[in-house]
Structure 1
Amino acid sequence: MKNVIIPLNAFDRKEVLENGQIAFIKLIAASGAYGVEIRRELFTDEILPLKHLREKIAATSLFTVYSAPIELWKKDGSLNIKELQLTFQEADLLSASWVKTSLGHYIKGVSNLEDLKQFLKRAEVKLFVENDQTQYGGNISDLKHFFESAYISDVPVRMTFDTGNWMYTNEKWMDALMQLKEFVAYLHFKNVIQNGKELTTIALSNNENAAWRFIAGQFPIDLPKALEFPIAPVNRLREYVEMVETNKTYKEGEVLCKS
């Protein structure tokens, strides 16, 4: 079953900026991937080529996700309505099915979930919120408060669980998985390692005990999964797509390594 989505930031940034995201659509479709994640931050023109991209993607039948580097909640805890409206307008022009943002400064008891609920009531695109690399947007407790409150208030929002971003916020991915699992509907796979004083994203390991395999095994087999790590050379894309699609579900009690 096809379930792998390819974000455009998986490819060489310079090449994507020079050639445009549209240049990679054919490659992604040929890899056997289920969908593509268009990245707002990788557009260079003031006028976004959304219509052209939409037509190119439509010809391939790829599922479309639109990722925008905006924070859902502003520093004062209020809804970031202007940027949210613009992002959803762009997603509509792209014919994307999902919009992905980060949490931002959600403040329990201050942030008004009714505002978000009313906005999403009028939208045809679904909202996904991802744990990012900031201390406030990648905080397990804050994310849990947000999703629990959204569920109680019947706000139609789901979580994108980024497996590598927990390294940047000094949170443990296993703790995050156990506390946030019920809200997750989209996985972002990346392998982040400590490289001297810096954190570096590398390709997923094919090791049978790799952490990503365990994480994938905690969810239905058809849950969408994005490959957000450097695809180099690009002709390995199909290999990675097949590796993740054919992952065998973990058996309870198996030993897990940290690769």
Structure 2
Amino acid sequence: MGPVMICTSAFGADRVKRLGQAGVLEHIKAAGAQGVEIREELLSEHDLPLEQLRSAIEQASLTCAFSAATPLFDEQSRLKADDMDQTLERARALGAQWIKVGLGQLCAECIDDGAAALKARFGDQALPILIENDQTACGGDPLIHAALHRALEMPMIGTTLDLGNGYWTDHDLSQAASRLGSRVRYVHCKAVTHTDGRPGACPPNEAARSHWAALWHHFPAGVPRAIEFPLDHDDIDATARHVDSLKALA
């Protein structure tokens, strides 16, 4: 049974920016989760200095993951190295155990160049970098992710598998789980609903939970899983039920 994390974004960007990300730690702890995912794009003056936020996370006895605000590769398939350096610096200041970062627009023809750039820049990186299937055309393609990891062969660079992002990019979750499963080190959990033809994150229903459970054998035992669907900050009991549901995934 792997640890359950909660993304601070699950409580809504407006609330989190108003409270600071430390303002949701008590809820996360009380709901029985073991960790928090701090979002770089939601950092505000309330979160500074980062050492203060780190202290609050440690006092709550929570594991910390750090979510990068920008993807690894830009629209020309170039590594966004300076942005990543800043993200790494912030993650270290927070005492994060790993970084989640979207792949971005790394086209299939540029995989070897992309792998070479990652090796050159982060070959001696000690903090695990877990690349997510994001909501971009290239970054959401499990075939590109699988090819990149074959080219990399770097144990400190693994996969974050988001269970809902395929709805934005028209990629099949079952295919992604089977192709990337052995490299998955972190799972982002959200179901998806459609409003006016547009996808949006929502809590899983029984059908979604059953689908996730059927895919879980692809992943390493004890893989951390994170809630990234909307939560009610005023309803700890409801959050606790979601946490228990994710704990029950093998």
Residues 234/134 of structure 1: CA separation in 2 closer, same or farther (3 Å cut): farther
Rounded to whole Å, the distance in 1 between the matches of 2:75 and 2:46 is 27
Q: Is the 8 A contact 1:2 1:33 kept in 2?
A: no
Report what 2:223 is aligned to: 223
CA RMSD of aligned residues (A): 2.2
Rounded to whole Å, the distance in 2 between the matches of 1:6 and 1:83 is 24
Report what 2:127 is aligned to: 125
Rounded to whole Å, the distance in 2 between the matches of 1:170 and 1:80 is 25
Higher mean displacement: 15-24 or 118-127: 118-127
Q: Does 1:181 align with 2:181?
A: yes
Rounded to whole Å, the distance in 1 between the matches of 2:131 and 2:37 is 14
- Structure 2: tracts of 5 or more residues without a match: none
SS in 2 for 1:73: coil
**TM-score, normalising length: structure 2:** 0.89
Query: What is the identity, as a one-letter code, of the residue corresponding to 1:228?
Result: E
Q: Is the 8 A contact 2:98 2:129 kept in 1?
A: yes
Rounded to whole Å, the distance in 1 between the matches of 2:118 and 2:208 is 41
Report what 2:163 is aligned to: 163
Matches within 5 A, 1:12-161: 12-45=12-45, 48-107=48-107, 108=110, 111-151=113-153, 154=154, 156-161=156-161
Following superposition, the deviation at residue 208 of structure 1 comes to 8.6
Q: Is the 8 A contact 2:112 2:151 kept in 1?
A: no
Report what 1:240 is aligned to: 242
Higher mean displacement: 111-120 or 136-145: 111-120
Higher mean displacement: 95-104 or 9-18: 9-18
Rounded to whole Å, the distance in 1 between the matches of 2:46 and 2:57 is 21
State the aligned residue count. 246
Rounded to whole Å, the distance in 1 between the matches of 2:29 and 2:47 is 25
Query: What is the identity, as a one-letter code, of the residue corresponding to 1:116?
Result: L
Higher mean displacement: 161-170 or 103-112: 103-112
Residues 244/226 of structure 1: CA separation in 2 closer, same or farther (3 Å cut): same
Rounded to whole Å, the distance in 2 between the matches of 1:75 and 1:59 is 40
Higher mean displacement: 189-198 or 107-116: 107-116
